[in-house]
Amino acid sequence: METINNLLQTLDNLFLIIAATIRGLFADPHSVWANLTMDIINFIIVVIIVVLAALILILLERKIAGWTSQRTGPNRLGPRGWFQTIADALKLMGKEDVTPASADKFIFKIAPMIIFSLPMMTLAVIPYGDGMAPINLDLGIFYFVAISSISTLAFLMAGWGSNNKYSLLGAMRAVAQMVSYEIPLLFSLLGVVMISQSFNLGVIVEAQATIPFIILQPLAFVIFLIAALAELNRAPFDLVEADQEVVAGPFTEYTGLRWGLFFLGEYGNMTAMAGLGATMFLGGWQGPGFLPGYVWFFLKTGVIIFLIMWARWTFPRIRIDHLMHLAWKVLLPLSILNILLTGLGIYVYRFVMGG
């Protein structure tokens, strides 16, 4: 029993131990050079997480699409088709890189890079385990939301730079949709911040040691889930890239690896948003002790990602006026109501506990 407990403890702190060992190689473990090395290692780990997540999620998405329609999904390459994404990525790399003649070339080329860089920046503040946030920011949520809202700008750049009417139409839709849904998303997170009294994601996870916030804030979780779907431009809110209406929206003119970068960015953003949901509402790395903290975190993230994909392959696309109606007339009042109720709850709690 003792040895098993020791083993679990070691597994739980595996990455911290590795980090301490690397720091121990330096004469002064907290010198500038040690910090720089650790920062570079953290950066590489986050990039690996983004790329791996995209590779796995693209396949998972196709598998789930298959299962919901009683097919098996990709099943040719590798065991049960699990290597399909690698073949797809290789195919994308081999494709011709076309820039339209009348495109705004600089903006056209820089837009996919911005989209791809955003999930790396947002995933850097998420705590993957106890003390395992690559960057421990005090304004973690604030930073996360600020960075993820830049993707609106990248969509607009892609749409404008392509010099194509469908691209621009899709980009306009992206701006309208993402700016609208940012507000309920923020307000739904505000309830959690009010309870935990902190913007720091690590502190928020620690505050959920006894009870995850999904039980205290069920309404906020539902609002968060809907607004996150809309933020990520995924079905049923995929008006930005609605194939039947605007070809592929801002991605219409992109080919090869640039288009692949958009895809990587989309799935990276999805991972980041699901990670935020798991951190804020499901208790992040907190969980029964028989699994290490980071395993719990990725399990919870996976559950939210599965929910998002499940919704995508169930619901038809929402109409654009209904989309705006939902954001401004349903989600926004509900999220404000949630803030009011949370405030009342905190007041009553303090009154009863005599704080």
Q: Using CB under 8 A as the criterion, which residues of the chain lie in contact with another protein when the complex forms?
A: 64, 66-72, 75, 310-311, 313-315
Q: How far is the CB of 325 from another protein (least distance, A)?
A: 13
Q: How far is the CB of 74 from another protein (least distance, A)?
A: 12
Residue whose CB is less far from another protein, 226 or 264: 226
Residue whose CB is less far from another protein, 316 or 355: 316
Q: How far is the CB of 154 from another protein (least distance, A)?
A: 30
Residue whose CB is less far from another protein, 5 or 72: 72
Q: How far is the CB of 235 from another protein (least distance, A)?
A: 12
Residue whose CB is less far from another protein, 218 or 343: 218
Q: Are 102 and 163 in contact (CB under 8 A)?
A: yes
What is the Cα gyration radius of the chain? 22
Q: Are 301 and 310 in contact (CB under 8 A)?
A: no
229: its two tokens: 């779907």
Q: Are 84 and 78 in contact (CB under 8 A)?
A: yes
Using CB atoms within 10 Å of the CB of residue 59, give its burial: 0 to 12 exposed, 13 to 18 middle, 19+ buried.
buried
Q: How far is CA 163 from CA 83, 132, 251, in A?
A: 36, 44, 12
Q: Are 297 and 282 in contact (CB under 8 A)?
A: no
For helices 140-148 and 150-162, give the axis angle rounded to 10 degrees: 10
Q: How far is the CB of 323 from another protein (least distance, A)?
A: 15
Q: How far is the CB of 310 from another protein (least distance, A)?
A: 6
DSSP 26-39: SSSTTSHHHHHHHH
Residue whose CB is less far from another protein, 55 or 334: 334
**Which residue do the tokens 């502190």 mark?**
203
Q: How far is the CB of 73 from another protein (least distance, A)?
A: 9
Nearest residue to 109 via CA among 254, 232, 246: 254
Residue whose CB is less far from another protein, 21 or 69: 69
Q: How far is the CB of 273 from another protein (least distance, A)?
A: 19
Residue whose CB is less far from another protein, 74 or 129: 74
Residue whose CB is less far from another protein, 64 or 157: 64
Phi first, then psi: give them for residue 124, nearest 5 degrees.
-70, -20
Nearest residue to 282 via CA among 260, 257, 307: 307
